[in-house]
A and B are shown apart, each in its own frame.
Chain A
C-alpha cells in the first residue's frame, strides 16, 4: 500500500532562517505530489504540486520543492522563514490517473518560528 512519511513531527526555526521539510513516499509508479499547509483551526491550503517535468517546482508564499525520484523524496524548502509560516505542513500523494482523486497524506510537520 502507498504511504507517505514525514520524518519530522516538529521543527523549530528562527525567523529569517531557512526551512526544509522532508517527505518520502513509497510506490513504484510516478506519483503526483503535493504540499499543503494548515493554520490552526483552518482547512488545508495548497502550496505547490508536482505532476511531471521540471523537478524543482515553485509554489506560493516563497516555497519550493524538489522531486527526487532516486530518493523517493519531495522536500519542501523556503530560504527565509517569516513568523506567519508557523503552521502544520502536510505532504500528500496521488497515484492513479483515471481512478479518482484519492490523496494519501503524511503525518504532518508542525513548524514553530522563533522571533
Chain B
C-alpha cells in the first residue's frame, strides 16, 4: 500500500498570504489528523477529520482551518500568514472507527514564511 502523501513538500510564502496544503491518506483510512512541528513548540495537534467532519481541534487560531473530502483526502489552509507559522506540517492517517488507532505520518510540508 502506498503511504501518506503530502503536497507540496516545500513552500515559501510571504507574510499576509494564505496557503493550502494537501494530504492523501493511506487507502482505506478515513481519519486524517494534522500536526505542526516547530523547534520551539515541538509537535502540536491542529485538528482531525473523520468522514468529512472535524472531530477534534487543537489550540490554534481560526486562521488555521481544514476540510476533508469524500475520498478522505484532506486539505489544511492557513490564512494571513505570520512569520511564526513557519513549520513542518505533518499529516497522519488512521483506520479509526471511533476508537484509538495508530497513526501513520506523511513526510510533511515544510512551510517557510518570509
Contacts and interface: CB of A to CB of B under 8 A. Distances in A.
Interface of A: 32, 34, 36, 42-46, 49, 51, 90, 92, 94, 96-108
A43 B106 contact: yes
B48 A101 contact: yes
A76 to B, nearest CB: 15
B105 A43 contact: yes
Give me the 7 closest cross-chain CB pairs, A-B, nearest first: A100-B56, A105-B43, A43-B105, A44-B105, A100-B55, A43-B107, A32-B100
A99 B54 CA distance: 11
Contacts of B101: 101
A61 to B, nearest CB: 16
Interface string B28-64: 0001010100000011110010100001101000000
Contacts, number: 68
Interface stretch (B11-19, B68-76, B78-86, B90-98): B90-98
B42 A94 contact: no
Nearest to B99: A97
A51 B100 contact: yes
Given A46-B104, A51-B100, A103-B33, A90 B43 contact: yes
